[in-house]
Amino acid sequence: MEFTHSTQVETNVEETFAWHERKGAFRRLMPPWEQAELVSGESSLEDGTKLTFKFPMGPIKMKWVAEHSGYNPPHSFADTMVKGPFKTWHHVHSFVETENDTCRVDDRVEYTLPMGTLGRIFGGGNVRKRLQRMFKAREIRLAKDLKRYHNFAHIKRKKILIAGSSGLIGRQLIAYFGTSGHDVWRLVRRTPKENEIQWEPSQGKIKAQELEGFDAIIHLGGAGIGDKRWTKKRKIVLEESRTKSTQLLSSTIAQLQNKPEVFIVSSAMGYYGSRGDENLTEQSAAGTGFLPDMCVAWEASAQAAKDAGVRTVHCRTGLVLDATGGVLKKMLLPAQLGAGGPIGWGKQWYSWISMDDQVYAIDHLMMSTDCEGVYNFGSPNPVRQKMFAKVLGKILRRPSFMPVPPFGIWFLMGKMGVTLATDSSKMLPNRLTESGYEFQYSDLEHALRDALGKWKK
Protein backbone atom coordinates (compact mmCIF):
# COMPACT_ATOMS: atom_id res chain seq x y z
CA MET A 1 0.00 0.00 0.00
CA GLU A 2 1.14 3.54 -0.70
CA PHE A 3 0.40 6.94 0.87
CA THR A 4 1.63 10.29 -0.48
CA HIS A 5 1.46 13.85 0.81
CA SER A 6 2.98 17.18 -0.28
CA THR A 7 3.70 20.33 1.75
CA GLN A 8 4.59 23.71 0.27
CA VAL A 9 6.81 25.96 2.42
CA GLU A 10 8.26 29.45 1.95
CA THR A 11 11.90 28.58 2.65
CA ASN A 12 14.36 27.17 0.12
CA VAL A 13 15.46 23.56 -0.20
CA GLU A 14 18.65 23.99 1.85
CA GLU A 15 16.91 25.71 4.79
CA THR A 16 14.03 23.23 4.79
CA PHE A 17 16.32 20.19 4.77
CA ALA A 18 18.49 21.73 7.51
CA TRP A 19 15.38 22.22 9.68
CA HIS A 20 14.66 18.48 9.50
CA GLU A 21 18.22 17.65 10.58
CA ARG A 22 18.12 19.68 13.78
CA LYS A 23 17.22 18.49 17.26
CA GLY A 24 13.56 18.99 17.96
CA ALA A 25 12.25 18.21 14.45
CA PHE A 26 10.72 14.91 15.56
CA ARG A 27 8.70 16.52 18.37
CA ARG A 28 7.61 19.49 16.26
CA LEU A 29 6.38 17.14 13.50
CA MET A 30 4.55 14.87 15.91
CA PRO A 31 0.77 15.53 15.76
CA PRO A 32 -0.18 17.73 18.75
CA TRP A 33 -2.66 15.15 20.07
CA GLU A 34 -0.16 12.26 20.06
CA GLN A 35 1.70 11.45 23.27
CA ALA A 36 4.73 9.93 21.59
CA GLU A 37 7.85 9.60 23.72
CA LEU A 38 11.24 9.74 22.04
CA VAL A 39 13.52 7.13 23.62
CA SER A 40 16.68 7.63 21.58
CA GLY A 41 18.00 9.10 18.35
CA GLU A 42 16.91 12.35 16.62
CA SER A 43 20.32 13.96 16.16
CA SER A 44 21.16 12.60 12.70
CA LEU A 45 19.44 11.56 9.48
CA GLU A 46 22.53 9.90 8.04
CA ASP A 47 22.44 6.33 6.78
CA GLY A 48 22.34 3.70 9.52
CA THR A 49 21.28 5.99 12.38
CA LYS A 50 18.23 4.89 14.34
CA LEU A 51 15.36 6.60 16.11
CA THR A 52 13.31 4.82 18.78
CA PHE A 53 10.07 6.08 20.28
CA LYS A 54 6.98 4.84 22.08
CA PHE A 55 3.45 5.86 21.20
CA PRO A 56 -0.05 4.90 22.38
CA MET A 57 -1.98 2.38 20.31
CA GLY A 58 -5.29 2.12 22.12
CA PRO A 59 -4.71 1.06 25.73
CA ILE A 60 -1.09 -0.06 25.19
CA LYS A 61 2.19 1.63 24.24
CA MET A 62 3.93 0.45 21.11
CA LYS A 63 7.64 0.77 20.36
CA TRP A 64 8.73 2.00 16.95
CA VAL A 65 12.34 1.68 15.79
CA ALA A 66 13.23 3.40 12.51
CA GLU A 67 16.53 3.28 10.63
CA HIS A 68 17.54 6.11 8.31
CA SER A 69 18.76 5.54 4.76
CA GLY A 70 18.95 7.32 1.40
CA TYR A 71 20.69 10.33 2.94
CA ASN A 72 21.20 12.80 0.09
CA PRO A 73 21.26 16.37 1.46
CA PRO A 74 19.50 18.63 0.67
CA HIS A 75 17.32 16.50 -1.61
CA SER A 76 16.09 13.45 0.30
CA PHE A 77 16.34 10.99 3.15
CA ALA A 78 14.32 7.94 4.12
CA ASP A 79 13.44 5.84 7.13
CA THR A 80 12.52 2.18 7.35
CA MET A 81 10.67 0.57 10.25
CA VAL A 82 12.87 -2.01 11.98
CA LYS A 83 10.35 -2.75 14.72
CA GLY A 84 6.77 -1.56 15.06
CA PRO A 85 3.09 -2.18 14.36
CA PHE A 86 3.36 -2.55 10.57
CA LYS A 87 4.62 -5.58 8.69
CA THR A 88 6.71 -3.22 6.55
CA TRP A 89 7.12 0.58 6.41
CA HIS A 90 9.39 2.69 4.19
CA HIS A 91 9.07 6.49 4.19
CA VAL A 92 10.89 8.68 1.66
CA HIS A 93 11.14 12.45 2.30
CA SER A 94 11.94 14.43 -0.85
CA PHE A 95 12.73 18.17 -1.02
CA VAL A 96 11.90 19.76 -4.37
CA GLU A 97 12.81 23.29 -5.47
CA THR A 98 9.78 25.35 -6.51
CA GLU A 99 9.18 28.88 -7.80
CA ASN A 100 10.70 31.95 -6.08
CA ASP A 101 13.32 29.86 -4.26
CA THR A 102 10.71 27.99 -2.18
CA CYS A 103 10.41 24.28 -1.47
CA ARG A 104 7.92 21.42 -1.68
CA VAL A 105 8.30 18.49 0.72
CA ASP A 106 7.00 15.25 -0.77
CA ASP A 107 6.33 12.34 1.57
CA ARG A 108 5.85 8.86 0.11
CA VAL A 109 5.10 5.96 2.44
CA GLU A 110 4.99 2.35 1.29
CA TYR A 111 3.62 0.05 3.97
CA THR A 112 2.18 -3.40 4.55
CA LEU A 113 -0.30 -4.17 7.32
CA PRO A 114 0.03 -7.31 9.45
CA MET A 115 -2.40 -10.24 9.05
CA GLY A 116 -2.46 -10.03 5.25
CA THR A 117 -5.93 -9.74 3.71
CA LEU A 118 -7.65 -9.51 7.09
CA GLY A 119 -5.40 -6.61 8.05
CA ARG A 120 -6.25 -4.75 4.85
CA ILE A 121 -9.98 -5.36 5.21
CA PHE A 122 -10.36 -4.45 8.87
CA GLY A 123 -7.52 -1.99 9.36
CA GLY A 124 -6.76 -0.45 5.97
CA GLY A 125 -9.30 2.38 6.14
CA ASN A 126 -8.47 3.35 9.73
CA VAL A 127 -4.73 3.39 9.04
CA ARG A 128 -5.19 5.60 5.99
CA LYS A 129 -7.36 8.05 7.94
CA ARG A 130 -4.76 8.17 10.70
CA LEU A 131 -1.99 8.83 8.15
CA GLN A 132 -4.05 11.62 6.55
CA ARG A 133 -4.53 13.32 9.94
CA MET A 134 -0.89 12.86 10.89
CA PHE A 135 0.54 14.30 7.67
CA LYS A 136 -1.91 17.19 7.61
CA ALA A 137 -0.75 18.08 11.13
CA ARG A 138 2.87 17.82 9.97
CA GLU A 139 2.13 20.07 7.00
CA ILE A 140 0.52 22.75 9.17
CA ARG A 141 3.26 22.72 11.84
CA LEU A 142 6.15 22.65 9.34
CA ALA A 143 4.79 25.57 7.31
CA LYS A 144 4.12 27.63 10.46
CA ASP A 145 7.48 26.91 12.09
CA LEU A 146 9.50 27.68 8.97
CA LYS A 147 7.62 30.94 8.44
CA ARG A 148 8.27 32.03 12.05
CA TYR A 149 11.90 30.93 11.80
CA HIS A 150 12.31 33.02 8.65
CA ASN A 151 11.12 36.15 10.52
CA PHE A 152 14.29 36.11 12.63
CA ALA A 153 16.66 34.20 10.32
CA HIS A 154 18.78 37.34 9.86
CA ILE A 155 19.56 37.53 13.61
CA LYS A 156 22.46 35.57 15.09
CA ARG A 157 21.42 32.32 16.77
CA LYS A 158 21.46 32.38 20.57
CA LYS A 159 22.76 30.25 23.40
CA ILE A 160 19.70 29.58 25.57
CA LEU A 161 19.29 28.05 29.02
CA ILE A 162 15.82 26.80 29.98
CA ALA A 163 14.56 25.81 33.43
CA GLY A 164 11.35 23.77 33.43
CA SER A 165 12.19 22.20 30.07
CA SER A 166 10.39 18.93 30.85
CA GLY A 167 7.01 20.61 31.36
CA LEU A 168 4.19 20.92 28.84
CA ILE A 169 5.41 24.25 27.42
CA GLY A 170 9.09 23.52 27.96
CA ARG A 171 9.10 20.41 25.77
CA GLN A 172 7.70 22.29 22.78
CA LEU A 173 9.84 25.37 23.38
CA ILE A 174 13.02 23.27 23.52
CA ALA A 175 12.05 21.56 20.26
CA TYR A 176 11.18 24.81 18.48
CA PHE A 177 14.41 26.51 19.53
CA GLY A 178 16.33 23.42 18.45
CA THR A 179 14.86 23.43 14.94
CA SER A 180 15.51 27.18 14.76
CA GLY A 181 19.24 26.52 15.10
CA HIS A 182 19.79 27.89 18.62
CA ASP A 183 22.22 26.30 21.07
CA VAL A 184 19.76 25.04 23.70
CA TRP A 185 20.71 23.95 27.23
CA ARG A 186 18.57 22.66 30.09
CA LEU A 187 18.70 23.48 33.79
CA VAL A 188 17.87 20.22 35.59
CA ARG A 189 17.71 18.82 39.12
CA ARG A 190 18.93 15.32 38.23
CA THR A 191 22.43 14.28 37.20
CA PRO A 192 23.15 16.37 34.09
CA LYS A 193 23.65 14.93 30.62
CA GLU A 194 24.96 16.63 27.47
CA ASN A 195 23.93 20.32 27.24
CA GLU A 196 22.56 20.27 30.79
CA ILE A 197 23.42 22.14 33.98
CA GLN A 198 22.43 20.90 37.43
CA TRP A 199 20.86 23.01 40.17
CA GLU A 200 18.81 22.48 43.32
CA PRO A 201 16.58 25.55 43.78
CA SER A 202 14.93 24.34 46.99
CA GLN A 203 18.39 24.30 48.59
CA GLY A 204 19.67 27.44 46.86
CA LYS A 205 22.35 25.49 44.99
CA ILE A 206 23.62 26.56 41.58
CA LYS A 207 27.09 26.98 40.09
CA ALA A 208 27.19 30.59 38.91
CA GLN A 209 30.19 30.07 36.63
CA GLU A 210 28.19 27.58 34.55
CA LEU A 211 25.66 30.31 33.70
CA GLU A 212 28.28 32.62 32.20
CA GLY A 213 27.84 33.45 28.52
CA PHE A 214 24.22 32.54 27.85
CA ASP A 215 22.33 34.97 25.63
CA ALA A 216 18.93 34.12 27.12
CA ILE A 217 17.79 32.41 30.30
CA ILE A 218 14.17 31.26 30.43
CA HIS A 219 12.46 30.03 33.60
CA LEU A 220 9.25 28.03 33.15
CA GLY A 221 9.47 26.00 36.37
CA GLY A 222 7.03 25.60 39.25
CA ALA A 223 4.88 22.88 40.79
CA GLY A 224 1.67 22.18 38.83
CA ILE A 225 -1.17 24.49 39.87
CA GLY A 226 -3.91 21.97 39.10
CA ASP A 227 -2.11 18.75 39.99
CA LYS A 228 -3.26 18.41 43.62
CA ARG A 229 -5.73 19.85 46.11
CA TRP A 230 -4.73 23.17 47.65
CA THR A 231 -3.93 22.21 51.21
CA LYS A 232 -1.93 24.68 53.31
CA LYS A 233 1.17 22.61 52.66
CA ARG A 234 0.47 22.47 48.92
CA LYS A 235 0.05 26.25 48.69
CA ILE A 236 3.47 26.72 50.25
CA VAL A 237 4.96 24.30 47.69
CA LEU A 238 3.25 26.11 44.82
CA GLU A 239 4.55 29.52 45.85
CA GLU A 240 8.06 28.56 46.97
CA SER A 241 8.69 26.41 43.87
CA ARG A 242 8.24 29.63 41.90
CA THR A 243 9.63 32.38 44.09
CA LYS A 244 12.71 30.60 45.46
CA SER A 245 13.81 29.30 42.09
CA THR A 246 13.24 32.65 40.35
CA GLN A 247 15.05 34.53 43.10
CA LEU A 248 17.99 32.13 42.93
CA LEU A 249 18.30 32.53 39.16
CA SER A 250 17.79 36.29 39.32
CA SER A 251 20.40 36.91 42.02
CA THR A 252 22.88 34.60 40.26
CA ILE A 253 22.36 36.39 36.94
CA ALA A 254 22.97 39.75 38.65
CA GLN A 255 26.42 38.56 39.78
CA LEU A 256 27.58 37.24 36.39
CA GLN A 257 30.36 38.96 34.46
CA ASN A 258 28.78 37.92 31.12
CA LYS A 259 25.11 38.50 31.83
CA PRO A 260 22.39 37.28 29.47
CA GLU A 261 20.68 39.68 27.09
CA VAL A 262 17.28 38.67 28.41
CA PHE A 263 15.72 36.86 31.37
CA ILE A 264 12.24 35.48 30.61
CA VAL A 265 10.14 34.28 33.54
CA SER A 266 6.72 32.63 33.54
CA SER A 267 3.83 34.21 35.35
CA ALA A 268 0.08 33.58 35.05
CA MET A 269 -3.25 35.25 34.48
CA GLY A 270 -3.94 34.34 38.10
CA TYR A 271 -2.21 37.68 38.83
CA TYR A 272 -5.52 39.42 38.12
CA GLY A 273 -7.77 37.14 40.17
CA SER A 274 -11.48 36.75 39.37
CA ARG A 275 -12.65 40.08 37.88
CA GLY A 276 -15.96 39.37 36.14
CA ASP A 277 -16.34 41.24 32.83
CA GLU A 278 -13.46 43.69 33.40
CA ASN A 279 -11.01 44.03 30.51
CA LEU A 280 -7.65 43.08 32.01
CA THR A 281 -4.56 44.60 30.40
CA GLU A 282 -0.97 44.67 31.56
CA GLN A 283 -1.73 47.94 33.33
CA SER A 284 -4.52 46.40 35.46
CA ALA A 285 -3.85 46.05 39.18
CA ALA A 286 -3.33 42.70 40.85
CA GLY A 287 -6.37 40.94 42.28
CA THR A 288 -6.83 39.53 45.75
CA GLY A 289 -6.50 35.97 47.00
CA PHE A 290 -3.99 33.15 46.85
CA LEU A 291 -3.25 33.14 43.11
CA PRO A 292 -2.79 36.94 42.76
CA ASP A 293 -0.60 37.07 45.88
CA MET A 294 1.52 34.21 44.56
CA CYS A 295 1.93 35.81 41.12
CA VAL A 296 2.90 39.18 42.63
CA ALA A 297 5.59 37.49 44.74
CA TRP A 298 6.67 35.40 41.73
CA GLU A 299 7.27 38.44 39.52
CA ALA A 300 8.96 40.36 42.33
CA SER A 301 11.45 37.51 42.67
CA ALA A 302 13.14 38.59 39.43
CA GLN A 303 13.98 42.06 40.74
CA ALA A 304 17.72 41.43 41.16
CA ALA A 305 18.14 40.75 37.42
CA LYS A 306 16.19 43.91 36.58
CA ASP A 307 18.31 45.98 38.95
CA ALA A 308 21.42 44.59 37.27
CA GLY A 309 20.23 45.96 33.93
CA VAL A 310 19.14 42.65 32.37
CA ARG A 311 16.12 42.93 30.08
CA THR A 312 13.47 41.01 32.01
CA VAL A 313 10.17 39.69 30.66
CA HIS A 314 7.18 38.23 32.55
CA CYS A 315 4.71 36.07 30.60
CA ARG A 316 1.29 36.14 32.28
CA THR A 317 -0.05 33.01 30.64
CA GLY A 318 -3.69 32.00 30.22
CA LEU A 319 -5.11 28.51 29.53
CA VAL A 320 -2.65 26.84 27.15
CA LEU A 321 -4.45 24.53 24.70
CA ASP A 322 -2.62 21.23 24.32
CA ALA A 323 -4.38 17.88 23.96
CA THR A 324 -1.58 15.99 25.73
CA GLY A 325 -1.72 17.89 29.03
CA GLY A 326 -2.94 20.86 31.00
CA VAL A 327 -6.51 22.09 31.12
CA LEU A 328 -7.57 20.85 27.67
CA LYS A 329 -6.60 17.26 28.45
CA LYS A 330 -8.65 17.43 31.67
CA MET A 331 -11.64 18.70 29.69
CA LEU A 332 -11.53 16.10 26.93
CA LEU A 333 -12.89 13.01 28.69
CA PRO A 334 -16.01 14.65 30.17
CA ALA A 335 -16.58 16.47 26.87
CA GLN A 336 -16.30 13.22 24.92
CA LEU A 337 -18.86 11.68 27.30
CA GLY A 338 -21.26 14.56 26.69
CA ALA A 339 -20.72 16.00 30.18
CA GLY A 340 -18.63 19.01 29.22
CA GLY A 341 -21.32 21.66 29.55
CA PRO A 342 -21.32 25.04 31.30
CA ILE A 343 -19.85 25.20 34.79
CA GLY A 344 -22.37 27.03 36.94
CA TRP A 345 -23.93 29.63 34.66
CA GLY A 346 -20.91 29.48 32.34
CA LYS A 347 -20.56 33.28 32.26
CA GLN A 348 -16.95 33.35 33.52
CA TRP A 349 -14.33 34.44 30.99
CA TYR A 350 -11.65 32.00 29.83
CA SER A 351 -8.47 33.55 28.46
CA TRP A 352 -6.88 30.87 26.29
CA ILE A 353 -3.82 30.62 24.04
CA SER A 354 -2.74 27.93 21.59
CA MET A 355 0.47 26.05 22.33
CA ASP A 356 2.02 27.34 19.11
CA ASP A 357 1.25 30.95 20.01
CA GLN A 358 2.71 30.37 23.48
CA VAL A 359 5.96 29.15 21.93
CA TYR A 360 6.08 31.71 19.11
CA ALA A 361 5.34 34.60 21.47
CA ILE A 362 8.20 33.64 23.80
CA ASP A 363 10.48 33.48 20.77
CA HIS A 364 9.20 36.88 19.59
CA LEU A 365 9.93 38.54 22.94
CA MET A 366 13.35 36.89 23.20
CA MET A 367 14.42 38.02 19.74
CA SER A 368 12.93 41.55 19.95
CA THR A 369 15.43 43.62 21.92
CA ASP A 370 12.95 46.41 22.69
CA CYS A 371 10.53 44.09 24.49
CA GLU A 372 10.65 43.96 28.29
CA GLY A 373 8.32 43.98 31.28
CA VAL A 374 4.94 42.26 31.59
CA TYR A 375 3.05 40.67 28.67
CA ASN A 376 -0.34 38.96 28.74
CA PHE A 377 -0.20 35.61 26.96
CA GLY A 378 -3.76 35.04 25.81
CA SER A 379 -5.72 35.23 22.56
CA PRO A 380 -7.14 38.64 21.62
CA ASN A 381 -10.53 36.89 21.76
CA PRO A 382 -11.19 35.35 25.20
CA VAL A 383 -14.55 33.56 25.47
CA ARG A 384 -17.05 32.78 28.19
CA GLN A 385 -16.80 29.28 29.62
CA LYS A 386 -20.20 28.38 28.20
CA MET A 387 -18.99 29.24 24.70
CA PHE A 388 -15.74 27.31 25.24
CA ALA A 389 -17.78 24.21 26.17
CA LYS A 390 -20.09 24.72 23.18
CA VAL A 391 -17.22 25.01 20.69
CA LEU A 392 -15.44 21.96 22.13
CA GLY A 393 -18.67 19.95 22.01
CA LYS A 394 -19.25 20.99 18.39
CA ILE A 395 -15.78 19.85 17.36
CA LEU A 396 -16.12 16.53 19.19
CA ARG A 397 -19.72 16.13 17.98
CA ARG A 398 -21.00 15.76 21.51
CA PRO A 399 -23.75 17.59 23.41
CA SER A 400 -22.53 20.42 25.64
CA PHE A 401 -25.69 21.66 27.35
CA MET A 402 -25.56 19.62 30.57
CA PRO A 403 -24.49 22.03 33.36
CA VAL A 404 -21.72 21.07 35.78
CA PRO A 405 -22.45 22.31 39.33
CA PRO A 406 -19.47 23.92 41.09
CA PHE A 407 -20.26 21.72 44.10
CA GLY A 408 -19.40 18.65 42.02
CA ILE A 409 -16.02 20.14 41.13
CA TRP A 410 -15.42 21.05 44.77
CA PHE A 411 -16.26 17.46 45.81
CA LEU A 412 -13.80 15.99 43.31
CA MET A 413 -10.99 18.57 43.35
CA GLY A 414 -11.56 20.86 46.32
CA LYS A 415 -11.22 24.64 46.33
CA MET A 416 -8.46 24.45 43.74
CA GLY A 417 -10.82 22.97 41.16
CA VAL A 418 -13.57 25.49 41.83
CA THR A 419 -11.15 28.43 41.63
CA LEU A 420 -9.58 27.32 38.36
CA ALA A 421 -12.94 26.45 36.78
CA THR A 422 -15.06 29.42 37.89
CA ASP A 423 -12.67 32.40 38.15
CA SER A 424 -13.39 34.96 35.44
CA SER A 425 -10.36 36.56 33.75
CA LYS A 426 -10.95 38.52 30.56
CA MET A 427 -7.27 39.06 29.84
CA LEU A 428 -6.20 40.97 26.72
CA PRO A 429 -2.70 40.79 25.13
CA ASN A 430 -2.39 44.50 24.39
CA ARG A 431 1.37 44.84 24.79
CA LEU A 432 2.06 41.65 22.81
CA THR A 433 0.09 42.85 19.79
CA GLU A 434 1.54 46.37 20.10
CA SER A 435 5.03 44.83 19.96
CA GLY A 436 4.23 43.47 16.49
CA TYR A 437 3.36 39.90 17.40
CA GLU A 438 0.78 38.33 15.06
CA PHE A 439 -1.28 35.53 16.57
CA GLN A 440 -1.41 32.25 14.71
CA TYR A 441 -4.76 31.45 16.30
CA SER A 442 -7.10 34.21 17.46
CA ASP A 443 -10.24 32.13 16.91
CA LEU A 444 -11.01 29.39 19.48
CA GLU A 445 -12.56 26.91 17.07
CA HIS A 446 -9.59 27.09 14.71
CA ALA A 447 -7.16 26.60 17.62
CA LEU A 448 -9.07 23.62 19.06
CA ARG A 449 -9.47 21.94 15.68
CA ASP A 450 -5.72 22.07 15.08
CA ALA A 451 -4.93 20.89 18.62
CA LEU A 452 -7.26 17.89 18.22
CA GLY A 453 -6.77 17.18 14.50
CA LYS A 454 -10.47 17.78 13.84
CA TRP A 455 -10.34 20.03 10.79
CA LYS A 456 -13.35 20.88 8.67
CA LYS A 457 -13.51 18.95 5.44
pLDDT at 413 over 70: no
pLDDT tens for residues 190-226?
999 999 999 999 999 999 999 999 999 999 988 888 7
217-226, 259-268, 399-408: the lowest-pLDDT one = 399-408
The pLDDT assigned to 278 comes to 97
Instruction: Look up the CATH superfamily of 159-452.
Output: NAD(P)-binding Rossmann-like Domain (3.40.50.720)
d(CA 141, CA 144): 5
Alpha carbons 392 and 396: distance in angstroms, whole number: 6
pLDDT band of 409, cuts 50, 70, 90: low
The fourth-level CATH superfamily of domain 2-151 is: START domain (3.30.530.20)
| Residues in Cβ contact with 132 at an 8 Å cutoff, skipping those fewer than 6 apart | 3, 5
Residue-averaged pLDDT of the chain:
92
- Report pLDDT for 415: 59
Using pLDDT thresholds of 50, 70 and 90, give the confidence band for residue 109.
very high
Lowest mean pLDDT, pick from 38-52, 109-123, 343-357? 109-123
What pLDDT shows up at residue 126?
87
- pLDDT of residue 235 exceeding 60, the answer is yes
Instruction: Report the pLDDT value the prediction gives residue 452, as an integer from 0 to 100.
Output: 96
Mean pLDDT, residues 274-299 taken together: 96
Domain boundaries, given as residue ranges, for the chain: 2-151, 159-452
Q: What percent of the chain has pLDDT over 90?
A: 75
Q: How confident is the model at residue 60 (pLDDT cuts 50, 70, 90)?
A: confident
The pLDDT of 173-190, averaged and rounded, is 96
pLDDT tens-digit profile of 66-98?
Answer: 999 999 999 999 999 999 989 999 999 999 999
pLDDT for the residue 223: 86
The predicted model gives 161-179 an average pLDDT of: 95
Report pLDDT for 150.
Answer: 87
What's the confidence (pLDDT) of residue 335? Answer: 87
- The pLDDT confidence band at residue 412, using thresholds 50, 70 and 90, is low
Q: How far apart are the first and last CA of the chain?
A: 24
